[in-house]
Amino acid sequence: MHVTVAGKQVDTGEALKVHVRDGLEAITQKYFDHAIEANVTFHRSRAHFACDINLKAGRGLTMRAEGEGPDAHRAFEEAAEHLAKRLRRYRRRMNEHARSAAPDRDAAAEAAPKGRERVLQAHGDEEEAAPPDGADHGAIIAEHPAEIALLSVGEAVMRMDLAHVPVLMFRNQATRALNVVYRRADGNVGWIDPGAV
């Protein structure tokens, strides 16, 4: 795994870099041994040090963790603990998904109406979403190339949560159509399936 350690107005000495590399190697070997790269950035936040870890854990899977502490080492330890928790949850979910893989896993998704926005509530039921309220939309600032993975709806929601992103586009495993899941303001997950009406 390639590890990059940088500091914004913080000196990242060799001891800190070795500590970060060893810590990330231990975490990824324990939970996710085929991680590709990690970018670790340290900066000052008020009277504390802050650490941001961006881990590219595999094709199309990026995880982010943050931590604060009185020194850079403790800030990294807190961020690494959050990263380990996310990797552990991801591995557990993937194991559960593999055990429960069955032809009817997307039956609920196929039974829902096509071509409309649907809301996945916390308990798994769906409801139709209200039409957009015409709120002002900002300008496009940047675009990033991204791989569109072939996933089930549950896997897409899991990836969105693990990467801490508000929206994720994916190719639906059941229909092969492009779909979008996103986090709504009310905390529920919205799912857009533009399949044939």
> Would you say residue 165 lies in a domain?
yes
| Whether pTM exceeds 0.85 | no
- Clarify whether residues 74 and 113 are in a common domain: no
> Would you say residue 79 lies in a domain?
yes
- Clarify whether residues 7 and 91 are in a common domain: yes
- Clarify whether residues 15 and 50 are in a common domain: yes
- Clarify whether residues 84 and 107 are in a common domain: no
Residue 7 to residues 39, 93, 132, Cα–Cα distance (Å) = 11, 34, 42
> Would you say residue 173 lies in a domain?
yes
Q: pLDDT for 22-69, tens place per residue?
A: 998 888 788 766 777 889 999 987 788 999 998 887 777 788 899 999
Which range of residues forms the domain containing residue 61? 2-99
Q: pLDDT for 65-105, tens place per residue?
A: 999 999 889 999 999 999 888 888 887 887 777 676 654 44
Tokens representing 60 are 């199309």
> Would you say residue 108 lies in a domain?
yes
Query: Domain of 147: which CATH number?
Result: 3.30.505.50
